[in-house]
Structure 1
Amino acid sequence: MNAESPKIEPALPVIRQLDAAAQNRIAAGEVVERPASAIKELVENSLDAGATRIEIAYADGGKRLIRVSDDGHGIPADALPLALSRHATSKLDGTDFSNILTFGFRGEALPSLGAVGRLTLTSRARGAAEAASLTVRGEATGSVRPAALARGTVVELEGLFSATPARLKFLRSDRAEAQAINDTVRRLAMAAPETAILLQDVSDPAAPRQILRLDAEPGDLFEGLGRRLGAIIGAEFPENALAIDSTREGLRLTGYAALPTYSRGAAVAQYLFVNGRPVRDRLLLGALRAAYMDVLSRDRHPVAALFLDVPPDLVDVNVHPAKAEVRFRDPGLVRGLVVGALKQALAGAGHRGATTTGIGMLGAFRPETDQPSAPYRPAWSGAQAPARPAPGTAALFTRALWSGRVEELPAEPEDAPDPETRPEPLDLPLGVARAQIHENYVVAQTGDGMVIVDQHAAHERLVYERLKAQRAASGVPGQMLLIPEVVELDEAATARLLDAAEDLAALGLALEPFGGNAVCLRETPAILGEVDGRALLADIADALAEGTAAGGLEARIDAILSRMACHGSVRSGRRMSAQEMNALLREMEATPLSGQCNHGRPTYVELKLHDIERLFGRR
């Protein structure tokens, strides 16, 4: 019998210290994901250096060349080798990591870039007699040499990832990488309106192509920021946005948030900054969405550029290698500030709607202004909003509109002025009703143009706001049905309605089980007038399903009220008298958020007289 072969044990893995080159490449992989992230690190260094002008150039999507030049304070010649070593920085002394006031503080950007390409650093420190230059590639570092440079610093990176070819294969096309660079530079530029920025594609050195040119924007916070945002997001953004400036317990939120009618089909225009640093923070994005929940449908997304200033010890900016995420010490405080500030601004906008319906409004209908700074502030704030109409004929007709029924006008007093000589309130924001067309659109004349109102969308918002006010005050009053209505729905819908019966009762909707999949509807909100019970309950059941997915009792109740408002509104196809139309206009002027319906669509469009004249070639 042959003896069994001895069992060979695998060799134990050997723990070894990686060499400096491997360490730098690993660090580079965390900091430099693509050309855009390299440019981000370099531009942030320039901003930290106090630059007033930054020039960025790239070739082949940043794969062949990246160059960032600035006029900042520069680096002394004897400090260049240290600047290219890992964990060397002038922005942190290493004793207090809770007081970070700069963009870069790890000292990894320059050595990481040198580890994955050929990096040349040229700088002239403020007050130095001449500039100096140093080149590094991997572990090979050259010597410091004199150079020609008037001021500031130039960082040039050639052959990104040439030292790590595997990483190069995972980069996208030149066009895609160039677009990422463009987006990164635009976000950084938003937070620095006082800095001039030039972005160029120098793939063809003989014919460099200017991608972005932004002049320094002087002025106060909102003037300079408004012009910078208009240049980056689009001139129509500040025209259709609300200035935000709110503080709470040491935190401050500033910036611009667009009107709900100026929304997008995707969350592609949401720019958030913490202490000047662009971030993609889930808490802030969620708060932004929550603030617009009551004025936008679920398939629309708000547009905003918001800047949150937080004491350094209340935020950790070091939780992500690329510093794209942050962690707040008190997330509830931050969320409350964002949601509260935006909701207050939206309510203060009153009936104001966008001058463009999203991006689709005809260019000929977009108002112009002779003063560039005028559009960058709201036309009026909540404190300046038109007062609610005084008791009178318009208010009496408003009651008729709320119920959806036409009531007879009371007789006018004998001493009332002759209607032919009575002055017309053309100076009111929404003017005077002149006609109703297609039984759905109210045409009104203003002092300097005209307004076209979607009667159903407008009244839907008014009913919704009235329902919310009643709920907040003492509950929505109901009206007993003379004959209760039995409604049969599917099993799931019936179950949702019965589970929410107690909440619905507080909203003026009384129902009870009637056996099987049927419910008996005994009471409906008085404000709605006569409604189709089955259609109303089916819509509310859908709202309950959506509210369960979205979460939050308040959101669920608001969704229910929104569905109710739709059923109690002036319907399309209903003819309205002049008094009714004017009552609708006056109530819109006095109601917050009436510039858009419950789904974020505009309730009216305003055309200035000069817009109309342009359509007919008079201008």
Structure 2
Amino acid sequence: MAIRQLSETVVNQIAAGEVIERPASVVKELVENALDAGATRIEVVTAGGGLSLLRVTDNGHGVPEDELALAISRHCTSKLSDDIHDIRSLGFRGEALPSIGSVSRLTLRSRTADADNAYEIGVDGGRVSDTRPAPGNRGTMVEVRDLFFATPARLKFMKTERAETAAITEVVRRIAIAFPHVRFQVSGPDRNMLDLPGFSRDADGQLQRVAQIMGKDFTDNALPVDAERNDVRLFGHISLPSHSRANALQQYVYVNGRPVRDKMIASAIRGAYMDVLPRDRHAIAALFIELDPAYVDVNVHPAKADVRFRDPGGVRALIVGGLRQVLAQAGIRPATSAADAMAAAFRPGGATPESRGYHPSSYSYEARPSQAQAGALELYRASLSPAGGFSAPSQAPFDTRAPLQAALEIGAASADARANETPVSNDLLTKPLGAARAQVHENYIVAQTEDSLVIVDQHAAHERLVYEALKNALHSRPLASQMLLIPEIVDLPADDAERLATHSETLARFGLGVERFGPGAIAVRETPAILGETDVSQLVRDLADEIADNDTADTLKERIDAIAATMACHGSVRSGRRLRAEEMNALLRQMEATPGSGTCNHGRPTYIELRLSDIERLFGRR
């Protein structure tokens, strides 16, 4: 078959297949165009899930009459100079309108501030009509009817009307977070409307918009983030570890105002919460990354949802470090969702904890070590030198006294703690966790503050304290390693072998000794003693994959921390152990001084705080 040039309509339909996946994709492109035009009010009207009708109206600066034909022509744009690396707008390719027009019946009507009236132009399946006068206010209206009528095969892949409408609303919500000063309205034939009033451009306006989209529960349980490194700024809000979700749909990330779904950023958020959330739970976040456009490539995918950073390792380090610092500095702070769920449980027909975003069943209560892990613990104890300042006696998985320094004399004779047995000091009442008043069911410490009641899970709380102390002891110096009698040779692609060799010093700190063994192999001479017997080949390959994806070697650290978590679980105060008043208060004070003590190693909350005002409402006093 002879080579021939495709027609303009076919070229636009091919482009539409990349850019226009569903009605929500049309809304995304048109709303971004409105924002680039300086609009402060954007209205979206839909019918038939967006397949019958999509109308986006804005009050931006409009398109002049003599540029309407260019606006619907391929690769025509006012947003891009000759420098492809200097992209400061949401759109820049000049593909959206011609692509949409090639698969639908499109009408573009616009009026500039100095024009006497509006003008419109139409595109019907790729056929362009003449420009003509039309009534209209300042700004632009783009109406799209019968989407995909020119490519009916695409209609077979559409979901239900309700699902497509929900996707449109979610697109508008996601964009709206980054533009708090803009008013967004979405309406449909059932008259359901999303109405997001505009706020100021400052941080307060940003938080108000986040509350509109993500709910007051999030803002009540959010921590502000503001960090900078190498001219890259990270700011926004993240949730407390005890306020999480079963999926990552409520993680909103923006790069220079552009909503993105980047796997490296998602991995960095998971890494920051690694020690405080279980694997099946996800943090809630609204994060913004700002940097010079020359250091990020947004021209990776036609939908512009993916980005590539010039220094991905630096951006990842900023996210992980910035978020971990915020979590560490948050101090002792409970999630309000747990208290709300507790209060609701007392009301007849009240909301269940799950309906408030609190899912205790999703948290693993206790990690049980495997036979291999138990052997690894014994090997690790034998490898530790007493001179190192850290020891793990053989009679218990872990003696908490040495690293915690605030001895809880668990082995001493203890009495049943009863309320009001010990006078309460006013100084203790002012502490965040207050003064211990009782122990109930031999596991829960009931404490009193000036204006609240605190219930602490003694096992979960002490588990976190032991874990943090053990991690500090483990990572304060190079980990003990065990030398292999015969070095294990692992065959790898040359690139993977080079990456591992580059990170050899970091790996050595964790007890893994590797070195190059020819162009496509790695020789492993030492492994971390704490891991015991392990699949060296699989470990090395996992590390190579992670370094290739994220330029980090966190897989090894995660495995070591998992062992530490198991040791902490079995070396902490057990459920059913009676504590004296001074022991309970010592535990509370240590929790207040330990970062991340609001959750245990498995992500469960360690305590719940119920305000006195909430208790009084339960009894009808307010």
8 A contact 2:106–2:145 mirrored in 1: yes
In the TM superposition, 1:558-573 aligns within 5 A as 558-573=561-576
| C-alpha deviation, 1:456, in angstroms | 0.5
Residue 103 of structure 2: aligned partner: 116
2:310 pairs with 317, 329, 339, which one?
329
8 A contact 1:543–1:560 mirrored in 2: no
Kindly indicate whether residue 96 of structure 2 is the aligned counterpart of residue 96 of structure 1.
no
2:412 pairs with 388, 406, 415, which one?
406
1:105 pairs with 92, 101, 125, which one?
92
| C-alpha deviation, 1:334, in angstroms | 0.9
Query: Counterparts of 1:337 and 1:115 in 2: how far apart (Å)?
Result: 43
| C-alpha deviation, 1:505, in angstroms | 12
Query: Counterparts of 2:448 and 2:339 in 1: how far apart (Å)?
Result: 24
| C-alpha deviation, 1:462, in angstroms | 0.6
Number of residues of Structure 1 aligned to a counterpart in Structure 2? 509
**1:230 aligns to what SS in structure 2?**
helix
Residue 319 of structure 1: aligned partner: 300
Kindly indicate whether residue 177 of structure 2 is the aligned counterpart of residue 195 of structure 1.
no
1:318-375 per-residue CA deviation (whole Å, 9 max, x = no partner) reads: 1101111111111111111111101111111122231114996655899xxxxxxxxx
**1:227 aligns to what SS in structure 2?**
helix
**1:443 aligns to what SS in structure 2?**
strand
| C-alpha deviation, 1:56, in angstroms | 0.7
Residue 466 of structure 2: aligned partner: 463
Query: Counterparts of 1:209 and 1:63 in 2: how far apart (Å)?
Result: 17
| C-alpha deviation, 1:473, in angstroms | 3.6
1:213-263 per-residue CA deviation (whole Å, 9 max, x = no partner) reads: 111122622x21211111111210111111111111011111111111111
Given the superposition, is the C-alpha separation of residues 546 and 226 from structure 1 closer, same or farther in structure 2, using an over 3 Å criterion? Answer: farther
Query: Counterparts of 2:160 and 2:300 in 1: how far apart (Å)?
Result: 30
8 A contact 1:55–1:69 mirrored in 2: yes
Residue 74 of structure 2: aligned partner: 86
8 A contact 2:79–2:91 mirrored in 1: yes
| Structure 1 unaligned regions, length at least 5 | 1-12, 367-394, 410-418, 478-501, 507-523, 525-536
Residue 617 of structure 2: aligned partner: 614
Given the superposition, is the C-alpha separation of residues 285 and 397 from structure 1 closer, same or farther in structure 2, using an over 3 Å criterion? Answer: closer
Q: Which is higher, the Rg of structure 1 or of structure 2?
A: 1
Query: Counterparts of 1:397 and 1:347 in 2: how far apart (Å)?
Result: 19
2:442 pairs with 433, 439, 442, which one?
439
In the TM superposition, 1:304-383 aligns within 5 A as 304-357=285-338, 362-363=343-344
Given the superposition, is the C-alpha separation of residues 142 and 566 from structure 1 closer, same or farther in structure 2, using an over 3 Å criterion? Answer: same
Query: Counterparts of 2:95 and 2:403 in 1: how far apart (Å)?
Result: 69
AA partner of residue 51 (structure 1) = A
| Structure 2 unaligned regions, length at least 5 | 348-400, 416-421, 481-506, 512-528, 544-553
Given the superposition, is the C-alpha separation of residues 20 and 503 from structure 1 closer, same or farther in structure 2, using an over 3 Å criterion? Answer: closer
Residue 384 of structure 1: aligned partner: none
**1:50 aligns to what SS in structure 2?**
coil
Residue 260 of structure 1: aligned partner: 241
**1:73 aligns to what SS in structure 2?**
coil
Query: Counterparts of 2:537 and 2:344 in 1: how far apart (Å)?
Result: 40
In the TM superposition, 1:515-526 aligns within 5 A as none
Query: Counterparts of 2:338 and 2:296 in 1: how far apart (Å)?
Result: 37
Kindly indicate whether residue 192 of structure 2 is the aligned counterpart of residue 209 of structure 1.
yes
Kindly indicate whether residue 140 of structure 2 is the aligned counterpart of residue 134 of structure 1.
no
AA partner of residue 34 (structure 1) = R
**2:337 aligns to what SS in structure 1?**
coil
Query: Counterparts of 1:181 and 1:469 in 2: how far apart (Å)?
Result: 47
8 A contact 1:263–1:358 mirrored in 2: no
Residue 291 of structure 1: aligned partner: 272
Kindly indicate whether residue 121 of structure 2 is the aligned counterpart of residue 143 of structure 1.
no
| C-alpha deviation, 1:306, in angstroms | 1.1
Residue 549 of structure 2: aligned partner: none
Query: Counterparts of 1:358 and 1:67 in 2: how far apart (Å)?
Result: 44
TM-score when normalising by structure 1 = 0.77
Query: Counterparts of 2:160 and 2:413 in 1: how far apart (Å)?
Result: 67
Query: Counterparts of 1:254 and 1:432 in 2: how far apart (Å)?
Result: 36
| C-alpha deviation, 1:423, in angstroms | 3.7
Query: Counterparts of 1:168 and 1:70 in 2: how far apart (Å)?
Result: 28
Query: Counterparts of 1:573 and 1:427 in 2: how far apart (Å)?
Result: 28
Residue 239 of structure 1: aligned partner: 220
In the TM superposition, 1:161-176 aligns within 5 A as 161-176=148-163
Q: How large is the Cα RMSD of the aligned pairs? A: 3.1
| C-alpha deviation, 1:406, in angstroms | 3.2
1:601 pairs with 585, 600, 604, which one?
604
Which stretch has the larger CA shift, 445-454 or 263-272? 263-272
Kindly indicate whether residue 538 of structure 2 is the aligned counterpart of residue 555 of structure 1.
no
Kindly indicate whether residue 205 of structure 2 is the aligned counterpart of residue 224 of structure 1.
yes
1:500-538 per-residue CA deviation (whole Å, 9 max, x = no partner) reads: xx99999xxxxxxxxxxxxxxxxx9xxxxxxxxxxxx9x
| C-alpha deviation, 1:547, in angstroms | 8.2
Which stretch has the larger CA shift, 439-448 or 395-404? 395-404
| C-alpha deviation, 1:126, in angstroms | 2.2
Query: Counterparts of 2:229 and 2:607 in 1: how far apart (Å)?
Result: 35
8 A contact 2:71–2:97 mirrored in 1: yes
1:180-227 per-residue CA deviation (whole Å, 9 max, x = no partner) reads: 11211111111111111111113x5xxx321x1111122622x21211
AA partner of residue 558 (structure 1) = D
8 A contact 1:398–1:580 mirrored in 2: no
TM-score when normalising by structure 2 = 0.77
1:411-439 per-residue CA deviation (whole Å, 9 max, x = no partner) reads: xxxxxxxx869544211111111111111
8 A contact 1:57–1:199 mirrored in 2: yes
Given the superposition, is the C-alpha separation of residues 582 and 358 from structure 1 closer, same or farther in structure 2, using an over 3 Å criterion? Answer: closer
AA partner of residue 615 (structure 1) = L
Kindly indicate whether residue 557 of structure 2 is the aligned counterpart of residue 574 of structure 1.
no
Query: Counterparts of 1:109 and 1:565 in 2: how far apart (Å)?
Result: 55
8 A contact 1:123–1:132 mirrored in 2: yes
Given the superposition, is the C-alpha separation of residues 307 and 579 from structure 1 closer, same or farther in structure 2, using an over 3 Å criterion? Answer: same
Stretches (4+) displaced over 6 A:
395-398, 502-506, 539-550
Query: Counterparts of 2:509 and 2:239 in 1: how far apart (Å)?
Result: 33
Given the superposition, is the C-alpha separation of residues 151 and 365 from structure 1 closer, same or farther in structure 2, using an over 3 Å criterion? Answer: farther
**1:197 aligns to what SS in structure 2?**
strand
Query: Counterparts of 1:214 and 1:73 in 2: how far apart (Å)?
Result: 21
Query: Counterparts of 2:470 and 2:403 in 1: how far apart (Å)?
Result: 18
8 A contact 1:455–1:570 mirrored in 2: yes
1:427-484 per-residue CA deviation (whole Å, 9 max, x = no partner) reads: 111111111111111111111111110110001001111112223445899xxxxxxx
| C-alpha deviation, 1:176, in angstroms | 1.5
Query: Counterparts of 1:162 and 1:567 in 2: how far apart (Å)?
Result: 64
8 A contact 1:261–1:601 mirrored in 2: yes
AA partner of residue 196 (structure 2) = L
AA partner of residue 558 (structure 2) = A
8 A contact 2:444–2:457 mirrored in 1: yes
Query: Counterparts of 1:325 and 1:307 in 2: how far apart (Å)?
Result: 15
Residue 453 of structure 1: aligned partner: 456
Query: Counterparts of 1:421 and 1:19 in 2: how far apart (Å)?
Result: 85
Give the share of equivalent positions with the same residue, in percent: 54
1:265-307 per-residue CA deviation (whole Å, 9 max, x = no partner) reads: 2222211111111111111111111111111111211111111
| C-alpha deviation, 1:543, in angstroms | 13
Query: Counterparts of 1:540 and 1:258 in 2: how far apart (Å)?
Result: 36
2:39 pairs with 41, 44, 51, which one?
51
8 A contact 1:319–1:327 mirrored in 2: yes
Which stretch has the larger CA shift, 139-148 or 285-294? 139-148
| C-alpha deviation, 1:400, in angstroms | 6.6
Residue 426 of structure 1: aligned partner: 429
